[in-house]
Amino acid sequence: MIIHKSLDQKAYSVGVRMANKYIEKGDYFPSEAWGCEGNIYPPLTGIALLGLYKESNDKIFLDGVKCIIKSIINKQFSSGAWPLSLGLTGNGVRFEVSDHLMKLTSESEDLPPTVTSLRLIADYKILTGDTSFDDSLFLGFKYLQQFWDENTKNFKEMLTGEALKLRASPSDYNIFTYLCLLSLKKIFPEADKFVEPLYNSVKKNFESMNSNTYPLLYGMHASIISKTEGPSVYVKTVVRSRISGEIGFESRFKIKNHPGAIGHRDGLRGICTDEGHLRNSIGIAMAMNFYDLYTETKTFTNSKFYEDLQIWIDSMYFESKYYEFLDINSGEKLGFGSSGQYLPIYLSLKSF
């Protein structure tokens, strides 16, 4: 295996494994996952593989992306949107959904899997010039536009009721819509009008977050604002203060006697600190990394806490894959779900 000097060896090997899984089976079926797999995960994995391809030019990653796109297009509704389809390729050992919710989420359009799917197809087209998937892309964008709300300057949720409650805070996922429109505007000029109000929405949502917010998405919001604004007054005051406080050093999700391990919050169980979650350690590490990268400082990445996060994240790696979480009571590492595979790649690439 060729390991490119610009890439982290672990991220590279995980990417190769995930690409091969999609090439061989057309989807990813984890032997064990913390939570139920859903349709948001394949495109987010594809975005990670596309990033690895940009860095390495290794064809395995592009082949993997094409297989993911073909897989997600097969799941696209005739309306142009995608369902969440929880449990489609695997249910969770800790966050398990019932047959009723599996059915419910497979029958309704949902915003996050729709925008992440459209973003992957758009990014692939932008990079390669391949028009093979244009029909799906055009249909999806046409459907998405129907959900724009001029009053809120945001896209309305497609999912409603019981299924929507599975997300601890649905507005936290609007970040994926913003990232999607950043890509779509490069293909559809009319998409540009959505970008600025969506960024303002992301920023407003960031300001409404608090110490109880899901750390991964809190960290991703801080990261995007740092990347977008660079060393602005807002970043150097508000974002820095949040990272120094409830996102990072003072996070209520930190787990005693386990440096670098961060707990979790989900829509069914609330805050859990009897599990250390890879995704949330990565979310905080990304916030610190992006802040320092785009302000050209070493404000956070020279800290002992950042070092603890990196050591703990690395400890979750095993044979070209990452465990998703640590059971604090038993000391057992568990879960090989999708999020535990693509998120370390995002952290390595400093991009998502």
Condensed to tens digits (0 to 9), the pLDDT of residues 57-111 reads 999 999 999 999 999 999 999 999 999 998 888 887 887 778 888 898 899 999 9
Q: Which region among 18-27, 88-97, 141-150, 309-318 has the lowest average model confidence (pLDDT)?
A: 88-97
Residue 3 has pLDDT above 70, yes or no: no
Residues 255 and 285 in one domain: yes
pLDDT of residue 171: 81
Secondary structure of residue 96 in the 3-state scheme: coil
Residues 197 and 241 in one domain: no
Residue with token string 């050209």: 296
Residue 42 has pLDDT above 80, yes or no: yes
Residue 160 has pLDDT above 80, yes or no: no
Instruction: Give CA–CA dist 77/7, Å, rounded.
Output: 37
Q: For the residues 124-145, what does the mean pLDDT come to?
A: 98
Domain of residue 245 covers: 209-315
Name beta bridge partners: 276. Answer: 326
Q: Count structural domains, the chain.
A: 2
Residue with token string 């429109």: 181
pLDDT band at 2 (very low <50, low <70, confident <90, very high): very low
Residues 129 and 274 in one domain: no
Q: For the residues 9-30, what does the mean pLDDT come to?
A: 96
Using alpha carbons, select from 289, 315, 293, 316 the residue that is nearest to residue 303: 289
In a domain, 324, yes or no: no
Residues 128 and 239 in one domain: no
Q: Are the CB atoms for 146 and 71 separated by under 8 Å?
A: no
pTM confidence score: 0.94
Residues 237 and 140 in one domain: no
pLDDT of residue 268: 67
* CATH number for position 53: 1.50.10.10
Residue 26 has pLDDT above 90, yes or no: yes
DSSP code, position 322: B
Q: For the residues 38-59, what does the mean pLDDT come to?
A: 96
Which among 177, 207, 237 is the end of a domain? 207
pLDDT of residue 96: 79
- In this structure, what token pair is assigned to residue 278? 């890879």
Contacts of 46 (CB under 8 A, 6+ apart): 64, 65, 68, 69, 72, 120, 124
